[in-house]
Amino acid sequence: MKTRTRLLATSAAAVLAATTLGTVAPAQASPHALQTPQALQASQAELPCMEGAMGKGYVINYAISNTQTSSKMYLTFWAQDGEAPSDPPSQRFVSRPDGSKKHTVTFNFGHASGGSPTIAYGNDTYSYGPDDAGTWILYDKAGKPWRRYAAVWATRFTAPPAPRVVTAGTRVTINHQLLASTATSAMVGVPGNRTVSLRTPANTFTNLSTVAGSTGKSSVTYTATSNRTIDAWYNGRVTCKSYNNASSAPQIVNVRRKITRTVSDSTPAVGQYVKVTGTVFPAANGQKVYLQRWNGSQFVNLVAVGTTSGKYTTYFKPATKGTHILRLFTAADSWNVASISPNVSVSAH
């Protein structure tokens, strides 16, 4: 099977994720097939939506890893065979609705959150592969069909681009594509709603909504003012879709401050003060701005001033004749990367 590039994690092809479903009507089990397989089949629309139908007696499963071509299922159900949390482990059969791929799962028992009722939970050691998506049947301890659960297609976001740096005020577009596995191991786009989170260095969030088309591609655009870590997620089962939930690897967008500068005289006499003014965006009051001069090998600091309402004023006095190359500089902090203004030349005579 052809290996695919890293998405949520290193990924080979199709894997599955679990969601539990409602109670099925008891029917007499046979070694090979159930007597009423059609009645046990859940519709495509029903499978993911049943998970949120509280009162039907099932809980949300943990998602399965997206890192391998087959996965083990972690199953959790309300215990309804009279078990107590202190009971020893017990085996139950599971199979497809037609009775195929029947195997046992060992369940342990414990308390649900809050202390009651009893839940049954077990690790299914069967390797669920690309062709195992759809309805599965859990049998009670008497060997009769009891619960349905579903294996749904795993989803994964395409790998994000490398970190980048933009200037404050730039409109930034973030692109994602959400893909899903199929029974033929092909990758298909997942349409539907996405949420894109812009996380600040203070760990606060702004959430943006976007909708992907049939190719699974979506994008959001925002105005960059400070560093952001950008995550996207897809709530597939919560929104009654046929694919598992997914979250993207983070994208990092670093932002340099926008610094302007103006000199009062570009051809002053030696010893004459030249006024240097400009703006810094974004900048809190007191933001340190350094006037720097090129000394032939590097820029060196001459003086530091603070901003007021994003504006600064400082002075340069040429000590020698010739061209002096100046710029303004702000140091990096958690909100913005180190930033510089365009150079300006002052020719003293």
Per-residue pLDDT tens over the stretch 274-328: 999 999 999 888 899 999 999 999 999 999 999 999 999 999 999 999 999 999 9
Q: 10 Å Cβ neighbour count for 226?
A: 19
Domain with 297, as residue range(s), is 258-348
Q: Is 285 exposed, middle or buried (0-12, 13-18, 19+ CB in 10 A)?
A: exposed
- Please indicate, yes or no, whether the overall pTM of this predicted structure exceeds 0.75: no
183 and 226 inside one domain: yes
Q: What pLDDT sits at residue 328? A: 96
Q: Measured between alpha carbons, how far is 47 from 53 in angstroms, rounded to an integer?
A: 11
CATH of the domain at 278: 2.60.40.10
- 27 with 124, same domain: the answer is yes
In a domain, 3, yes or no: no
- Regarding whether 284 and 241 lie in a shared domain, the answer is no
- 188 shares its domain with 120: no
Q: Which one of 152, 171, 199 terminates a domain? A: 152
Does residue 103 carry a pLDDT above 90? yes
Q: pLDDT band for 235, please (50, 70, 90 cuts).
A: confident
Evaluate whether residue 6 is within a structural domain.
Answer: no
- Give the three-state DSSP class for 60: coil
| Predicted confidence (pLDDT) at residue 215 exceeds the cutoff of 70 | yes
Helices (H) and strands (E) in the chain, counts: 2, 26
Residues 220-234: what's their mean pLDDT? 90
Tell me the pLDDT tens digit for each residue of 80-101: 677 888 889 989 888 887 888 9
Mean pLDDT, rounded, for 230-247: 70
- The number of folded domains in the chain is 3
- Pick from 122, 31, 278, 236: nearest CA to 290: 278
